[in-house]
Each structure stands twice: as C-alpha cells, then as structure tokens.
Amino acid sequence: MEDLRRQKKVKLLKNKKPKVLAVIPAKKISRRLPYKNIKLLHGLPLICWTIKESLKSKYLTKICVSSDCEKTLEIASNYESVILVKRPKNLCKPNIDNYKVVDHSLSHIEKNNNLYFDIILLLQPTSPIRSYRHIDQSVKNLWGSKCNTVASVKGPLNKTRDPNLKKIKNKTMIPWCSHARSVSSMEKFYIYNASIYGAKREYFKKKKKLTSNQEIPILMDKFYSIDIDDIFDFKVAESYIRCKDDIFS
C-alpha cells in the first residue's frame, strides 16, 4: 500500500511543472583570484557565462545573482529578468556555507515576489562552460524522483584516497565506502565538479544543505567540468572556450 501511494505521488509530481529558483553566488573577495567573477573571460565577465546559459533554460522560474559587489550587480542588471540580491556582510566571510547564501536569496525572493519554489539550484559562476542542457537535465531528473538532491559530477575516475568519491548504482549516486578492503578494476568512481547542486525545497529547509547520500548524478566530461579557482584555471577555461566550436562542430 505504501509503495502504491509513493507511486501515485511521483506521478502527480511529474505532471506538475516545478517552480525552480537558480541562485548564482558571486562574492566580491576571492583570495586566489581577486575579483574573478567580473574578470573578462574571452571578452565577457565571468559571471555572464552562467547568467546567459541560465536564461536559455526552459525549467528555471527565477534566476538571481547574490553578491556584495556593486560592479557585479551592475553587470547582472543588464539582464532584465535576473533578480539582484544584495548579500549582507555576514554572508561574505571566507568558507561561508553555501546553504546560508542560497537560503538568504530564497527567503528574499519568496517574500518579495509572493512565490513558493519546489526546487533550488546553486550555479557557481566559476563553472563557465556548463550548458543550459545540464541545468534542464538536473531539474528534469530530480523532479518526481525519490531522491532529494541532484549534483553534477565528473568521471569516471580511478580510485583515489579522496573521501568525496561517489559511485552510481541504479541511476543514483551514493558515497563510496573508503574503508572497503578490495575494489574491482571494473568499478567506476565520480566526484563533484562544483558546477550544479540542487535540492527539493522541503529537504533543503529541513536538512539545511544541498547534498545527500542518495543523489541524482549529472555526468559532465572534462571539458564541461572546468572549475576556476586560480589564474591557471582561468587560462584553461579561456583556451577551452576558444576551441569550443572546433571541438563540437
């Protein structure tokens, strides 16, 4: 009986179009690459690459940029449908939990727009080559599933000592037990690439996080998984973008 009720609930969810909020966090200060979110990447401010792909999505209800940087907010204001959220100083500290930043934007937008979202996505501007197709796939695959979260990953990888390694079983991503005594050479491992994190609202509010032990994986290859942390990453991303048309033509 319980399984039947769950199946009916899933069916109802699939028939309803979810309201989705995408939060693009863009803090002013960056220790390794100062002002990286507004630094020109192939002629366009870094943050614009994520904004432009987000606007192509057919699943996002609202898109917001959360920042304490006036210049970043000014750049984002050139995109009419993007909501600007001024981030308070207490959410701009080093190593601030992304949950707090996203929750601040969620509360602000729901209150001021009389909306209630079903899914919240975190789209970090440091992943500029992410495609809108990855965003749409994230929402589509998460909505109506039994999982509460979705995350983009890169791989498959060879086994390492990284405690964040994941395995995919029955289309669901789960943590790999690093204490396993033996590993088959056929096993495949994956790891977050920091491009997309998402959660259903109820889970997000209750657990205060965007990840879980059972997640929907969005597989992204090396090209799409570039994550800018320093000037070297920035140069790599720039070279990737320059040759993008040649690779996918």
Domain boundaries, the chain: 18-153+193-213
Q: pLDDT at position 182, please?
A: 47
C-alpha distances in Å from residue 120, one per residue of 106, 114, 169, 199, 208: 8, 16, 24, 6, 12
Instruction: Tokens 């088959």: give the residue.
Output: 184
Give 90's pLDDT tier (boundaries 50, 70, 90): very high
Neighbours of 116 (CB within 10 A): 8
Q: pLDDT at position 39, please?
A: 96
Alpha-carbon gap, residue 179 to 163, rounded angstroms:
10
SS3 186: coil
- pLDDT higher than threshold 60 for residue 101: yes
Over residues 81-97, mean pLDDT: 94
User: What's the pTM value of the predicted model, to 2 decimals?
Assistant: 0.88
Alpha-carbon gap, residue 163 to 177, rounded angstroms:
8
Q: Which amino acid is at 20?
A: V
The pairing of beta strand 166-169 with beta strand 119-123:
unpaired
pLDDT higher at 12 or 99: 99
Query: Which DSSP category does 87 fall into?
Result: P
Over residues 129-148, mean pLDDT: 96
Determine if residue 156 is left, alpha or beta; phi over 0 gives left, psi from -120 to 50 gives alpha, anything else beta.
Answer: beta
Percent of the chain with pLDDT over 90: 71
pLDDT tens, position by position, 185-239? 567 889 999 999 999 999 999 999 999 999 999 999 999 999 999 999 999 999 9
The whole-chain average pLDDT of the chain stands at 89
Alpha-carbon gap, residue 142 to 204, rounded angstroms:
13
- The CATH topology of domain 18-153+193-213 is Spore Coat Polysaccharide Biosynthesis Protein SpsA; Chain A (3.90.550)
The token duo for 131 is 């495609």
